[in-house]
Structures are given as C-alpha cells and as structure tokens.
Amino acid sequence: MWTKVESHFESYPAQKKVMRLLLKRGFKIDEQGTIRSGSIRIPKAQIAQEVEVDRKAVDAAIKRIENNDFLRDIFHNLRSMTLLEDVAPKLGLGITIITPTDAAKKGILGRVAATISKKDISIYQAIADDPNLTDNPKLTIITEKRIPGNTIDELREIEGVKKVTIS
C-alpha cells in the first residue's frame, strides 16, 4: 500500500522524510498547500526541523503531492487522532503494549482483542503502528482497567506475539 506512495519519492530522500512525517502524524495538505492538523496550520519550518531537512525540501514535497492526483487525494484526506497512551494512567485506564514477532502478520489484533474481551474488559482504544512507517511497530491497547496477570500470560501465548508490556 505505502510502496505506491513512497515510489513517488524514491529519488528525493529529503522529500521522502517529509512525506513519511506527514503520514505518521496524520498531517494533511489543504487546497492552498498548507500543512494542517485539523484546522491548525503547521509551519513548514517546523516540519523541516523535525525531519532535519531544508525548508525547500518541504516545499518540494508539497509541490510533488499537489501535482499528482493520487498523492493529492491521499494527503488532502489525512487526519490526526488522539492517542490515550500518555494520559491513560492519570485516567485510571490500563495500557498493554504488544510487540509482534512480525507486525505484518494477520490476526494479532483480533486475537488480542478477543482474549481481553473474554475477561469482560472493555477496550477503549487499539492502535497498531504501520510496519511500513515505524521502525519498531507495536500494538497499543488502552483498556478500562489494568489487565490481570493471568490474561498477560494468555496474551504471551498468542501466535505472533513476541512481548507483552503492561504499564
């Protein structure tokens, strides 16, 4: 899926860094070529600083996106979302982080969710990192309460699960 997007940036490593950050953060490009998170404008200089490229690379990446129907359709429709991981402890919620043996393996999220729900624990949020956008992808599960020890053992037994971390 992302290889088609990345193929447009193969010869332009600085622009590729910009494109990957936009995807990872869910920053969209509006009709005026402005980078946004929702309706909030994100300065191009900050994007350049974050990925350690010149601001011209940000401008060039935006131009490349705007001049390609396929890329424009994708980047005009991205959106950011809230991840509860950092505030979960303050809200009394549980955090379970699953490190997969292979993040591209199908069914890990489903089996983890089924195991947790069998214990009558509600899942408030499940975020799976895209293995094409993240170096060390993980599955982050936010639950109504902390997962008990016996459930942790069951999660470790799921095919494709390398490590289970509770916080």
pLDDT in tens, 20-60: 999 989 999 999 999 999 999 999 999 999 999 999 999 99
What class does CATH assign to 84-166? alpha beta
In the chain, what are the domain boundaries? 2-75, 84-166
Does the reported pTM lie above 0.85?
no
Q: Could you give the C-alpha distances from 156 to 94, 98, 102, 144, 160, in angstroms and in order?
A: 17, 9, 14, 20, 9
- The stretches in the chain having pLDDT less than 70 are 1
Q: What is the pLDDT of residue 1?
A: 60
Looking at this protein, which amino acid is placed at residue 110? G
